[in-house]
Structure 1
Amino acid sequence: MSFHSELSKDLKDELESLRWYHHELSRHAAEALLLSNGSDGSYLLRNSNEGPSCFALSVRAKDSVKHFHVRRVDQAYVFGFNQFPSLQEFVNHFANQPLVGSDTGTLIALKAPYPWRVEEPSIYESVRVHTAIQTGRTESDLVADAPSLGTKEGYLVKQGAVVKNWKQRWFTLQRHELKYFKDKMFEEPIRILDLRDCSAVQFDYSQDRVNCFCLVFPDRTFYLCAKTGVEADEWIKFLRWKLAQNRKGK
């Protein structure tokens, strides 16, 4: 049974009146959609896998996508610290292009909803040649595959390689690349770390700092600190998930 079929008929009808509610869209697909065809501040509402009364607001923030909880309690919608008595009042809130602050301190202006129905050109190529290359492969060899998306960004404090001082850097994680920049407004990264070469990510207690974790590479171990233990835990879980995906060859 799909998530959507578990919703009550009244709730289905109510949500489907919202042009930017993408009911069956997964987190992976939402990121692909917003990164490829959205713009900074584009957002959409989709189902969360946490239950029939839980939803996710997926928002493009420059080159990453952030996901925020939306819960339906009785007839109301809870988003952040606000509770809206009805879907209409929830939608009216978005008409004012509200600012949303994430745990990393990033402020995102919710500029434009991304509609579930997008106009496409009715142009298709005609097949002029269609032949088979005899490779000996069968249907069982057709394995659907795609690189893992999953994006994350935020400030972390990094220990220097030679001089063991600590400096705040802006980090972005996309696909298998962890980049860090001098600051958020810089376009060129100081360095790009290829997570396919990383063997482990774990909490670190060897430094005289709290909320630290390390990334182990063949030639160096990188020491990073987050503002809070929760934020450090999120980075570790996300990076470990990336490493697991890389080991699967995705």
Structure 2
Amino acid sequence: MSVCSSTRSFGEDVDELESVSWYHYDLSRHAAEALLLSNGVDGSFLLRNSNRGPECFALSVRAKDSVKHFNVRRQYGRYSFGFNEFSSLQDFTSHMANQPLLGSETGNLIVLRFPYPRQVEEPSIYETVCVHTAMQTGRHENDLVPNAPSLGTKEGYLVKQGAIIKNWKQRWFTLHRHELKYFKDKMFDEPIRTLDLTGCSAVQFDYSQERVNCFCMVFPERTFYLCAKSGAEADEWIKILRWKLSQIKRGR
């Protein structure tokens, strides 16, 4: 592996990179995946620092339902990307705009369509989920690692009311992308049911049950009643589920 180095001053490098609207500084690999998967579309991309060294970067690109990462290296003011080398940052960004084709390890072509700007309004839930994930891993939200749980996901125990027999049973729930799954327990691999959030019309607190910290999810065929262990936990589930619904409505 090459050691990344440069003779240019740090301040000069920062000033140059700040002119690139889709450069996200110290955004972690995991946070980049969360942004592109939750808020981007196929072909959205951004540039960020890499943990390989001070003059190493990564180009993160959303390719359908995954995010691919490509190494970019700067040395003596020149940028190396794949088999290409560019004499300036301007040449590199021009290449990204005019020849937006990348080959992945699977042999598929990835098209760079939409630069993801760093100055963009993110949904308020993003910070909450970021902090929640950091707490689950015992790390700070700015120090997430590749093996941490994905941002924009959630899991935990909820008590669910039965469909026919109106009893309440504890189930393990996992939220990923547009699917909410619940299992008999955390140790089970196969879910009892998978709820497709594209069919959900509303998520809200519910006060009709003789239980506290309840909320409901409204589907055409059924309304699901769920209870969390605390009001804060129920509020967190509601916020992230509503955010998912808003992303679905926006076609993301």
Normalised by the shorter chain, which TM-score bucket?
0.3 to 0.5
Q: TM-score, normalised by structure 1?
A: 0.48
Q: What is the TM-score with the length of structure 2 in the denominator?
A: 0.47
Pick 1 or 2: higher relative contact order, CA cutoff 8 A, min separation 6: 2
